[in-house]
Amino acid sequence: MGRQLVEPDRRHVRLPRLGTIRTHENTRKLARRLDAGTARILSATVSFTRGRWFVSLQVEVMRQVRSPARPDVVVGVDLGVRHLAVLADSTGQITHVPNPAHLDTALAKLRRLSRRVSRRQGPDRRTSRAPSRRWVKADAERNRVHHRIADLRTDGLHKLTTTIRAEYGIVVVEDLNVAGMLANRRLARKIADAGFGQIRRQLTYKGGWAGGVTVDADRWFPSSKTCSDCGAVKTKLPLHVRVFACEQCALVMDRDANAARNLAALAAAVKAGTGVAGDQDAQASNPRGADRKTRTTTRPRTRPGGRAGGAIPHQRTETRDPRQAEAATLR
Residues noted as catalytic: 78, 174, 256
At residue 19's C-alpha, the angle toward residues 18 and 20, to 5°, is 125
* Whether 234 contacts 296, CB under 8 Å: no
> What span, in angstroms and rounded, lies between the C-alpha atoms of 170 and 59?
28
Q: Could you tell me whether strands 213-217 and 168-174 are parallel, antiparallel, or unpaired per DSSP bridges?
A: parallel
C-alpha 194/C-alpha 309 separation (Å) is 45
**151-to-49, 122, 124, 259 alpha-carbon distances in Å:** 12, 27, 30, 30
Q: Is 186 exposed, middle or buried (0-12, 13-18, 19+ CB in 10 A)?
A: exposed
In terms of DSSP H, where are the helices of the chain?
A: 28-36, 102-105, 107-118, 133-167, 178-181, 188-194, 196-210, 255-272, 322-330
Q: Using an 8 Å Cβ cutoff, are 266 and 276 in contact?
A: no
Euclidean distance between CA atoms 135 and 114, whole angstroms: 11
Distance CA 249, CA 262 (A): 16
- Write the DSSP assignment of 277-327 as a string of letters: TT-TT-----TT-TT-SS------S--TTSSGGGPPPPPP-----HHHHHH
